[in-house]
Chains A and B, each alone.
Chain A
Amino acid sequence: MTGLADLYLQQLKTGIATMLQYRASLVIWLIGNVLEPLIYLVVWTTVSRSTSGTVGGYGTRDFAAYYIVLMLVNQMTFSWVMYEFDYRIREGTFSADLLHPIHPIHADIAENLSSKAVSLPFMIAAAAGLTLLFHPAFNFSWAAAAAFVPALVLAFLVRFLVDWTVALAAFWTTRVTAINQIHYMAVLFFSGQIAPLTVLPRPLQIVANILPFRWTVGFPVELLLGRLTAAQIGTGLAIQAAWLLAGTLLVKYAWRVSVKRYSAVGA
């Protein structure tokens, strides 16, 4: 186990150092990550202002709060592995990874964590700025905050595992962009990014509860905003844990068959 901890520490260090090298890319990436929820924030607050009541249970200031928290949670759960795998296979770097005695997912998780470490200060500053500009209605409670921490960690793990499994498609086809696009769409709609899930029409909400995406972003956001009852929080955490288990098994299996195929086809 200490070997693993050591690996994570090293990866974190190199990951952070690398990221600081590419400062311009980093800044541009972060600007993009702030802009996307910001756009939806503006759109939905505009919609809300033009109606007299609430939209899906959200008032104008609720929308602002939702998207500011979403921005942070999204940043903390986001991964980009799908885009990497295609490159790795083409360049043949996977062969090197396969020689390592440790499952390659650990290096990816560590690299991902280093990106979060570097971006967190920036995002918090952005969140503070947006709070000043948009006057969101926050509804914090210590209980919610306490439940938020495990929810966020589980959300990150579930999202990462799902992403990693989808990324393995790169071993099976070269048309990964279509798969990534579909995956991106699903995330956009069903994790609560394009709109809070209660704004979606009823059938889509049901789908959202079945798919894992709600549990990767939407659930922690709603939790922190104080929009969930204790029972709902409990159920949610349980579902997240279930998805974690399912995700782990899925990754194990998918990885095994993918490696077999990779070695068969030729590295």
Chain B
Amino acid sequence: MNFLRLLWVFLRVGVMGEAAYPANFLAHLVDSALELGTALAGLALIFAHTSTLGGWGPDELVALIGVYFLLGGVIGLVIQPGMEQLTEAVRDGTLDFTLAKPEDAQLLVSVWRVEIWKMIDVGLGLVVLGIGLARLGQRVGVAEVAAFAAALVAGAIIVYSFWLILATTAFWLVRVENILVIFQSVYEAGRWPVSIYPGWLRFALTFLVPVAFAITVPAQALAGRLTLAVLGGAWAFAVVLFAAARLFWRIGVRHYSGASS
């Protein structure tokens, strides 16, 4: 598909851009390892005092952290850099170049920057996920893994659409001023299962900044707690949000091009 082709092209550019700085690899590895260490140490601290957190056991929470890092890595790899570059391009006018290319502009701005070091986060996430799965053992079967994959993809689509909507506001706000940072601040909350939060916060983390669908729901699938209803709901939300994001994007581009509404 065109999307994969272009993603591959920009991925290569991302690698080439960073290939000049091999020392960065170790530095980024240390960074990510420290972050992971902090998260796991926090878990250890909690489970020194209790055996379950909001109904979740330690192995399930390890898997949750794995999802947290995995998805965080994907976001940092391609979604976040792309959206950040989009807001800059709107501000300095280089978006004109993109609009003059014979490819769908939304597709281009979604894949045009790849922060290759985030692969480390993805890798670490997979490792932790693997450890969590190993510890969960026989409780995880084919059905759970399939549900997990489905939930993860839905979560990724939801997160991407959310970021796109945030970044599209750049067409109207003269200074977007890091409005994108809101996601990173709130993403932290996803380290823990959303069910422990009070109702109002749970709502905010599900529908306002969709962290729940991104992390908790896929982790629920692995823990065998995911109902088909919730999975269906996640996909429905993903489809609707994606369509809304695309529509908003097109409105944004029309506004940028001075088309009369």
Contact = CB atoms under 8 A, between A and B. Distances in A.
A–B direct touch in complex (beta carbons closer than 8 A) = yes
Interface of A: 22, 24-25, 28-29, 31-32, 35-36, 38-39, 42-43, 46-47, 50-51, 55-56, 133, 175, 177-178, 181-182, 185, 188-189, 194-195, 199-201
A199 B197 CA distance: 21
Contact of A50 (B31, B53, B188, B189): B53
Given A36-B188, A177-B27, A55 B49 contact: yes
Contacts of B201: 38, 42
DSSP class of B's interface residues: helix, strand, loop or mixed? helix
A35 B189 contact: yes
Most buried by B among A35, A182, A201: A35
A171 B183 CA distance: 31
B182 interface: yes
B53 A46 contact: yes
B175 to A, nearest CB: 8
Given A47-B49, A47-B50, A42 B31 contact: no
Contacts of B176: 24
Contact of A178 (B30, B48, B192, B196): B30
B177 A43 contact: no
A39 B51 CA distance: 19
DSSP class of A's interface residues: helix, strand, loop or mixed? helix
4 shortest A-B CB distances, which residue pairs?
Answer: A32-B185, A25-B177, A181-B34, A46-B196
B196 A22 contact: no
Interface stretch (B36-44, B102-110, B138-146): B36-44
Given A50-B51, A201-B48, 16 more contacts: A22-B175, A22-B177, A24-B179, A25-B178, A25-B179, A29-B181, A32-B186, A36-B185, A39-B192, A42-B197, A51-B49, A175-B27, A177-B31, A182-B34, A188-B38, A195-B45
B45 A200 contact: yes
28 contacts: A22-B177, A24-B173, A24-B179, A25-B177, A25-B178, A25-B179, A28-B185, A29-B185, A31-B182, A32-B181, A39-B192, A42-B198, A43-B53, A43-B192, A43-B196, A46-B54, A46-B196, A47-B49, A47-B50, A50-B51, A51-B49, A55-B49, A56-B49, A133-B198, A177-B31, A178-B27, A199-B49, A201-B48
Contacts of A194: 38, 41-42, 45
Nearest to A38: B201
A201 B48 CA distance: 9
A84 B257 CA distance: 37
A35 B49 CA distance: 23
Nearest to B197: A42
B94 interface: no
Contacts of A46: 53-54, 196
Nearest to A175: B27
Contacts of A189: 38, 41
Contact of A199 (B27, B30, B45, B177): B45
Contact of A185 (B34, B46, B53): B34
B227 interface: no
Contacts of A185: 34, 37-38
A178 B188 contact: no
A55 B31 CA distance: 31
A176 to B, nearest CB: 10
A246 B182 CA distance: 37
Contacts of A50: 50-53
B96 interface: no
Nearest to B191: A39
Interface string B46-75: 101111111000000000000000000000
